[in-house]
Chain A
Amino acid sequence: MSTSVAEHGQGAGLSPEHGGHVLRVAGLQSEFRSRRGTVKAVRAVSLELEPGQRVGIVGESGSGKSAFALSVLGLLEPPGYVVGGEVILNGRNIAELDDRQMQTVRGKEISIVFQDPMSALNPVKTIGQQITETIRKHQPQLGKKGARAAAIELLRDVEVPAAGRRIDDYPHQYSGGMRQRVMIAIALANQPNVLIADEPTTALDVTTQAQVLTLLDRLVTERGTAVILITHNLGIVAQFCDVVYVMYAGRVVERAATADLFAHPVHPYTEALLRAVPRPDQLAQGPLPSIPGAPPNLAEVAPGCSFESRCPLGRGHKLCRTEVPVSTAAIGFGSGGATAECHFAKERVAEYLDGDATTA
């Protein structure tokens, strides 16, 4: 895979006029409750995903990316609770469904790959048992034999060598990269419309990371699966995603088509992330750069912009200290539909447009 920015074609960019969303999340809110207070981990996040589109979510540790993913799937466990919002998947709000109704949704219409393949597989069940579990759940007509054959086929597809033999192995007999391939096989077993991959390569070494990502790229392209890829790695975003959502303190602070985001970061947080590394094509490896300062305490949300204390642009600014910025359309860039949550979004877009005009 090359490292050029968003080069593959599928629904490139944002197109708000397009109504055919496979997934539309609106104002999703989740919190973790404890004796010491309530952590508002996801604070009204909205997200749109078209069929076959790839959306990236980046943001520093604790910004609520995993909580968001689990909330979408309804898999948040106490003390975590979804407290508001809609999750419209294939036209119906799955946030309203109960555990019984969700049976036909999870693993069938939407699935997830977790970060750590070491702990995501049950150590006392064979790889085959864990793949066929999902096949038999959603394609019972295949029967036991058919499910096993399908599982072997899947293992071949995720490039596990000697699949016919290794299907009866246990997870501890697989390497980390192979286990993540198995997780991908499980997630794609029933051809879901949406795949959420929560840092699928973070736990792997660099070479394996690249292999697994190339594999994922091929599989979702073949199947036309829409992907939400959560990552710390801006290089992966540049390679893989059409659209990027930048999360900060439980909010989406900026979203834009990948190329636009790298060229014109509107939100000062995004800019700081990009500024911390010299060139986008050098981002390919390594985690998100760190930015001075600490994210706010999500248990007691202060007035004003949550990035204020760390913001080079707005620190100390009265408006930023007292008023919560609203999501502002960053009109004027190529594909449109970009937003940023900053009091100065309009000015910054105007600056970019001026700059582009003078250099053009």
Chain B
Amino acid sequence: MLKLVLTRTAASLVAIFGASILAFVLLRVAPADPARLLAGPFATEEVVEAQRVALGLKDSLVSQYFRYIGDFFQGDWGFSFSVGRPVIDQIGSRLPASIELGLYAFIFALVGAVICALLATYRRRRAVDHTINGFALFGLGTPPFWLALIVLLVFFGILDILPGPEGRLSPRQEAPPEVTRMYTIDALLAGQLGTFFDAGKHLLLPALVLGFAPWAFFFRLLRASLLEVSGEQYLATARSKGIRRWTAFRRHALPNAFLPTLTAAGLIFAALLAGSVLVESVYQWPGLGALVRDGVIEQDYAVVQAFILIGAFAYVVVNLVVDILYGVIDPRTRTGSAVTK
């Protein structure tokens, strides 16, 4: 088990190194010249050249890379000239918003998918199965921004029971004291129930919309593997011991059915954490997605570069966790000597 953790961690470090090189190279080959951008369009060539030297762009690529990595670990992620703030400040204020939204979307998707997959398979009712399955197909085929607009129209425009596109809190609502910068959690920590519900109401629609397609995806994966696992002989063995149907299912079928979903769940979780440009735009959600979109438009590459590294980091960490979980659940990945049939 320890060996598994060590080898997987080593592999993760290699992956992050690769991503850092990619992020670094991106900035060098990007069409925009940072020195020119900083100096402004009317600066003379000498001024731009001086700016290049100041930025270290004249050094060898290797030493530039090491300085970049060193800066990165010291929290110097570059300067966003389009906003006039250090990149790390910007990301620091945006990332928690995206993480909170992604987290709830992920929880909705996964918990919803588990419940629906059980409903669709455990009792073997065709009608239930067909209904949920149809809904899932709809979920896979629906563009999220369109859905975001529709539910906003229904729940805000027509029914007026949920807040409109006004970000994370109502305009007059104070943000809770900063701990994690995730408002629902911070509000609970501070015991501010009013703030908690306000934040929750603002999260509900975007999280549901963002989680809809992942829900459909998880549901279909889980449904297929539950169907497969529920026909397995070892379930009959468990029941022949006097274990009740549901207990046997919970103990012997669910963990096994989860295995194929685990990898996909990890990737989707990482993707959700990184934010969604379109859904964030519709709900005026101050997350990473919007920041990166602006960064690309403004050719503000320091922002994009930091985003790539953070994204890579998230993917690698999540995958590491998935790999280790796999090892915990499935002994066959732990001990190499598989005598499979």
Contact = CB atoms under 8 A, between A and B. Distances in A.
Given A121-B234, A125-B252, A172 B240 contact: no
B337 A119 contact: no
Interface stretch (B80-88, B204-212, B328-336): B328-336
B237 A120 contact: yes
Interface residues of B, number: 27
A137 B255 CA distance: 21
Interface string B321-341: 000000001111001011111
Contacts of A73: 240
Interface centre among A114, A123, A175 (most CB of B within 10 A): A123
Interface string A84-95: 000000000000
A103 B341 CA distance: 32
Nearest to B331: A170
A82 B125 CA distance: 19
Nearest to A136: B241
A172 B332 contact: yes
B239 interface: yes
Interface in A122-141: 122-126, 130, 133-134, 137-138
Contact of B340 (A70, A125, A172): A172
Interface stretch (A47-55, A105-113, A340-348): A105-113
A227 interface: no
A178 to B, nearest CB: 10
B35 to A, nearest CB: 58
B238 interface: yes
B337 A173 contact: yes
B335 to A, nearest CB: 7
Nearest to B242: A107
B229 to A, nearest CB: 10
A14 B318 CA distance: 66
B256 A100 contact: no
A210 interface: no
Interface string A152-195: 00000000000000000010111100000001001100000000
Given A120-B233, A124-B329, A134 B340 contact: no
Contact of A170 (B124, B236, B243, B335): B335
Contacts of B335: 170, 172-173
A172 B331 contact: yes
Contacts of A61: none
A124 B237 CA distance: 14
Chain A binding surface SS class: loop
Interface string B224-255: 00000000111011111111110000001001
B331 A121 contact: no
A122 B252 contact: yes
Given A107-B241, A114-B236, A124 B255 contact: yes
Contacts of B240: 73, 75, 106-107, 111-112, 187
A78 interface: yes
A114 B242 contact: no
A204 interface: no
Given A119-B234, A172-B340, A173-B335, A124 B241 contact: no
B241 A186 contact: yes
Nearest to B236: A75
Nearest to B339: A172
A281 interface: no
Contact of B242 (A106, A119, A174): A106
Nearest to B252: A122
Contacts of A121: 234, 237
A100 B244 contact: yes
Given A122-B238, A124-B329, A183-B237, A99 B232 contact: no
Nearest to B231: A77
A175 B242 contact: no
A119 B244 contact: no
A106 B232 contact: no
Interface in B253-287: 255-256
A114 B241 contact: no
Contacts of B330: 123-124
B234 A137 contact: no
Contacts of B233: 114, 116, 119-120
A172 B238 contact: no
Nearest to A108: B242
A214 interface: no
A118 B242 contact: no
Contacts of A77: 236
Contacts of A100: 244
Contacts of A134: 241-242
Given A99-B244, A172-B332, A120 B234 contact: yes
A38 interface: no
Nearest to A170: B331
Given A119-B232, A123-B332, 18 more contacts: A77-B236, A78-B124, A102-B242, A103-B242, A107-B240, A107-B241, A120-B233, A120-B234, A121-B234, A124-B329, A126-B331, A133-B243, A170-B335, A172-B331, A172-B335, A172-B339, A172-B340, A173-B339
20 contacts: A70-B236, A75-B236, A99-B244, A99-B245, A100-B244, A106-B241, A107-B241, A107-B242, A107-B243, A111-B241, A122-B238, A123-B331, A124-B332, A137-B243, A170-B331, A170-B332, A172-B331, A172-B335, A172-B340, A174-B339
Which 6 pairs, one residue from A and one from B, show the smallest C-beta to C-beta distance?
A107-B242, A134-B241, A107-B241, A119-B233, A106-B242, A170-B331
